[in-house]
Amino acid sequence: MSRTFETVGVVGLGTMGAGIAEVFARAGLAVVGVEVDAQALERGRGHVLRSTDRAVSRGRLSEAGRDEILGRIAFTGSLDDLRDADLVIEAIPEVMEYKRALFTDLDLVCKPEAVLATNTSSLSVTAIASFTARPGQVVGMHFFNPAPVMRLVEVVRTVATAGGVAEDVAELARRVGKTPVTVGDRAGFVVNRLLLGYLNHAASLLELGVASRDDIDAAMRLGAGLPMGPFALLDLIGLDVSHEVCEVLFEESRDRVHAPAPILRELVTAGLLGRKSGRGFHAHEGASEAEAA
């Protein structure tokens, strides 16, 4: 019998976690949004507020609809509030030691039948599953930025995932309006493996002086029909995340296309992380700390 997911936990309310919480709440699920740090919790709440307010101002959502969505999300600083969740999705920074600590705790707090999912874009889901006593119920559930808009979810099945779990999570993705694809646990899965090679290559072209930043962006928008040029997209994803994904991909593939372009590393070292820090390849007027992941 397949599982039903009515209450979903989201741990980490940065750009991705807040977007994911909004996706579940919009679909009518009860959401428990957890951030252990009080300031980060407020930023996460602010993120959902701004996103739903924008939908109201565009006439896509009524004020009552927005209030209902917000009313479905319980913002909390305590992991203990996840004890009744049917599925918990983790969206904390991409540091394996943080994941180990969190999944060890989640395994203790969550009910035995709960599914534990990670939104990791670069780390091994198999390794994350091994931190728990329930590796059969651990999957990747990889959303794309901005989560409320992008229609794909990569459901990552590991060698340890029990039969039916990935299928049930894929069904949940459909229920919240996304299209799932099921992928194996290989660095970058499908989208990042293909996308980051391209984005990193764009940074190399810029360094080689082949064309300017704006001309490369315009070329790919107008010549390849993409919604954003590579530098606008790198800034949206976050240069820290992009750099990290490239490093992991290079480690696994040894393909030069993934060797992080030096300019990417330099910008990250300088704290110029893209939209979330106000500046990356582009300057972002009005972007603020509040958008920080």
Our finding on whether 165 is near ligand 3HC (CB under 6 A) is no
User: Between residues 86 and 235, which has the closer beta carbon with respect to ligand 3HC?
Assistant: 235
- Residue 207 bears catalytic tag: no
Answer left, alpha or beta for residue 227, where phi above 0 means left and psi between -120 and 50 means alpha: alpha
Out of 121, 122, 200, 242, the active site residue is 121
Nearer to ligand 3HC by C-beta: 58 or 254? Answer: 58
199 binds ligand 3HC (CB under 6 A): no
Q: Is 111 in the site for ligand 3HC (CB under 6 A)?
A: no
142 is catalytic: yes
Tell me: does residue 274 bind ligand 3HC (CB under 6 A): no
281 binds ligand 3HC (CB under 6 A): no
Using the rule CB under 6 A, is 227 a contact of ligand 3HC? yes
Kindly indicate which of the ranges 26-34, 77-85, 144-152, 251-259 contains the residues binding ligand 3HC, using the contact rule CB under 6 A: 144-152
Q: Least Å distance between CB 109 and ligand 3HC?
A: 26
Instruction: Tell me which of 126, 132, 145, 277 binds ligand 3HC, using CB under 6 A.
Output: 145
Please identify, among the stretches 65-73, 215-223, 225-233, 246-254, the one whose residues bind ligand 3HC according to the rule CB under 6 A.
Answer: 225-233
Stretch that binds ligand 3HC, among 80-88, 89-97, 142-150, 172-180 (CB under 6 A): 142-150
Task: Identify which of residues 86 and 291 has a Cβ nearer to ligand 3HC in the complex.
Answer: 291
Measured between alpha carbons, how far is 135 from 162 in angstroms, rounded to an integer? 8
DSSP the chain: ------EEEEE--SHHHHHHHHHHHHTT-EEEEE-SSHHHHHHHHHHHHHHHHHHHHTTSS-HHHHHHHHHTEEEES-GGGGTT-SEEEE---S-HHHHHHHHHHHHHHS-TT-EEEE--SSS-HHHHHTTSS-GGGEEEEE--SSTTT--EEEEEE-TTPPTTHHHHHHHHHHHTT-EEEEEES-TTTTHHHHHHHHHHHHHHHHHHTSS-HHHHHHHHHHHH--SS-HHHHHHHH-HHHHHHHHHHHHHHH--GGGS--HHHHHHHHTT--BGGGTBSSSB-TT--GGG--
User: Which of 51, 122, 145, 192 is labelled catalytic?
Assistant: 192
Nearest position to ligand 3HC, beta carbon = 121
List 6, 28, 37, 60, residue binding ligand 3HC (CB under 6 A): 60
Catalytic choice (142, 243, 258, 282): 142
Q: 126-136 as b/e, with b when 16 or more CB fall inside 10 Å?
A: bebbebbebbb
Give CA torsion, residues 48, 191, 131, 20, to 10 deg.
10
Residues 37-56 that bind ligand 3HC (CB under 6 A): 51, 54
Binding site for ligand 3HC (CB under 6 A): 51, 54, 58, 60, 121, 144-146, 148-150, 192, 195, 227-228, 233, 237, 241
- Which amino acids are annotated catalytic? 121, 142, 154, 192
